[in-house]
Amino acid sequence: MGDSLLLLLFIILTVTMGYAFRFLTLSGSIAAGIVGVLTMLGFHIKGLLVLGVFFATSSFWSYYKKVQKLKVEERLAKGSRRDWQQVLANGGSAAAASFLYYLNPDPLWLLCFCMLIAGANSDTWASEIGTLSKRQPISIRTMSVVQKGTSGAVSVLGTGAALAGAFLIALISYYLFEMGLAMSFFVFIFGFLGNLIDTIFGAYLQAMYRCRNCNLDTEKLVHCGQKTERLRGLPILNNEMVNFLSCFLAATIGAIIYTIMK
Query: What number of other Cβ atoms are within 10 A of residue 1's Cβ?
Result: 5
Q: Give the integer Cα–Cα distance in Å for 71 and 251.
A: 33
| Selection from 201, 82, 185 nearest residue 153 by Cα | 201
CA angle 245, 87, 33 (to 5 degrees): 135
Exposed (0-12), middle (13-18) or buried (19+): which is 160, by Cβ within 10 Å?
middle
Plot region of 25 (φ>0 → left; ψ -120 to 50 → alpha; else → beta)? beta
| Selection from 95, 62, 64 nearest residue 81 by Cα | 62
6-12: average pLDDT: 88
- Per-residue pLDDT at 72: 64
- Per-residue pLDDT at 184: 96
pTM of the model: 0.92
Instruction: Give the pLDDT band (50/70/90) at residue 78.
Output: low
Which residues share a beta bridge with 92? none
94-111: average pLDDT: 96
Instruction: Give the pLDDT band (50/70/90) at residue 74.
Output: low
235 phi and psi angles, rounded to 5 deg: -55, -35
249 phi and psi angles, rounded to 5 deg: -65, -45
Q: Give the integer Cα–Cα distance in Å for 193 and 164.
A: 13
Between 93-97, 181-185, 230-234, the lowest mean confidence (pLDDT) is in 230-234
Q: Residue 7: which H helix or E strand, with range?
A: helix 2-20
| Selection from 167, 232, 153 nearest residue 198 by Cα | 153
DSSP state of 69: G
Between 11-15, 51-55, 172-176, 216-220, the lowest mean confidence (pLDDT) is in 216-220
> Could you give the 3-state DSSP secondary structure of residue 142?
coil
- Per-residue pLDDT at 212: 84
Instruction: Give the pLDDT band (50/70/90) at residue 233.
Output: confident
**Average pLDDT of the chain?**
90
- Per-residue pLDDT at 197: 97
Instruction: Give the pLDDT band (50/70/90) at residue 79.
Output: low
- Per-residue pLDDT at 28: 92
2 phi and psi angles, rounded to 5 deg: -65, -40
> CA 81, 84, 87, 90: dihedral to nearest 10 degrees?
-120
Which of 7-21, 82-96, 111-125 is modeled with the greatest confidence? 111-125
Instruction: Give pLDDT tens digits for 127-186.
Output: 999 988 889 999 999 899 988 878 888 999 999 999 999 999 999 999 999 889 999 999
Q: Give the integer Cα–Cα distance in Å for 86 and 83.
A: 5
235-252: average pLDDT: 94
Between 133-147, 192-206, 239-253, the lowest mean confidence (pLDDT) is in 133-147
Q: Give the integer Cα–Cα distance in Å for 32 and 15.
A: 7
Query: Is the pLDDT at 42 greater than 90, yes or no?
Result: yes
Fill in the amino acid letter for 222: V
- Per-residue pLDDT at 70: 63
54-83: average pLDDT: 74
